[in-house]
Amino acid sequence: MKQQLINYETILSITKAISHSRDPEEIALMTTESIKTAMEVKGCSLFLFNRKTNELELAASFGLSDEYINKGPVSALKSIAQSLKEGPVAIYDVMDDPRIQYPDEAQKEGIVSILSVPVVVGGNLIGAMRVYTSEAWEFTLWDVNFVQALAQIAGAAINMARYIKGLKSSIDVLKTMKEVQTQKTTRRTPYEGVPVSVASNKIGKKGKKK
C-alpha cells in the first residue's frame, strides 16, 4: 500500500504542476526531471517520433551529458524499436543487447540499464520516454507503471499544446520548442519545487546485480 501511495502522490504533484503550463518545452523538461529525481536514476529523456524520417527526436532530457545527447540520430527502427510497437522494454545490460543503437556511447556515458516506454495519444504513437541507470537495474512493475503514467500525461499535454498553437503535428511542437530554446539566454528549471518535493519518494526498487 505504501508503494501505491508514493506512486499516487508523485503523479498527483507532477500532474498539478503540468496543468498550470501550456508550454510544451516546460512540460517535457518537467516530466523528465521529475522521473529522474523520483526514481533516483542517472537520467531521463523524452523523444517525439518523426514519421517522415523514422527518427526519435529529442524533446527534453535531464541528467545526461551534451556529448551523449548529441551522439547522433536516434533511429526508430534500430534503437529499442520493439518498445514502439509492443510496449515497455527493459534493457538490463546495454553492452549485451542488440537492441541498443549506440552501446559504446552508452557505456562511455556510464549507462548500464535502460527502460523505454512508448508515448501514445489517441491510439497514435507520438514518441518514447526512456530512463537510464548507472547500475544494473531490474525494473519492477511499479517502475514501468510510474514511467508509463507520466509518459502518457506528458504526451497528452504536448498534444493539447499542439492544438492550442494550431500546429499540424507533435514534431511541429518540437520545432517550436527548439526555436524558443535558441532565443533564450538563460535557462532555469520550471516548477523546480515539484521535483524537489518528490525527491524522497523513491519509486521502484533497484534490482540486484547478477
pLDDT digits (tens, 9 = 90+) for 3-39: 555 567 777 877 777 777 677 778 888 889 989 988 8
Which residues 6+ apart lie within 8 Å of 29 measured at CB? 60, 62, 189, 190
Please name each of the domains of the chain with its CATH number: 2-184 (3.30.450.40)
pLDDT digits (tens, 9 = 90+) for 145-157: 999 999 998 888 8
* Residue range 89-109: mean pLDDT, rounded: 96
pLDDT at 159: 80
Task: Give residue 102's pLDDT band: very low, low, confident or very high (50, 70, 90).
Answer: very high
pLDDT at 208: 42
Least confident of 86-90, 115-119, 185-189: 185-189
pLDDT at 198: 42
pLDDT at 196: 39
Which residues 6+ apart lie within 8 Å of 167 measured at CB? 173, 176
* HEC letters along the chain: CHHHHHHHHHHHHHHHHHCCCCCHHHHHHHHHHHHHHHHCCCEEEEEEEECCCCEEEEEEEECCCHHHHCCCCEECCCCCCHHHHHCCEEECCHHHCCCCCCHHHHHHHCCCEEEEEEEEECCEEEEEEEEEECCCCCCCHHHHHHHHHHHHHHHHHHHHHHHHCCCCCHHHHHHHHHHHHHHCCCCCCCCCHHHHHCCCCCCCCCCCCC
pLDDT at 161: 73
pLDDT at 157: 84
pLDDT at 116: 97
Q: Which strands form 74-75's sheet, in the order they lie side by side?
A: 74-75, 55-62, 43-50, 124-133, 113-121, 89-91
Q: Is the pLDDT of residue 202 over 60?
A: no
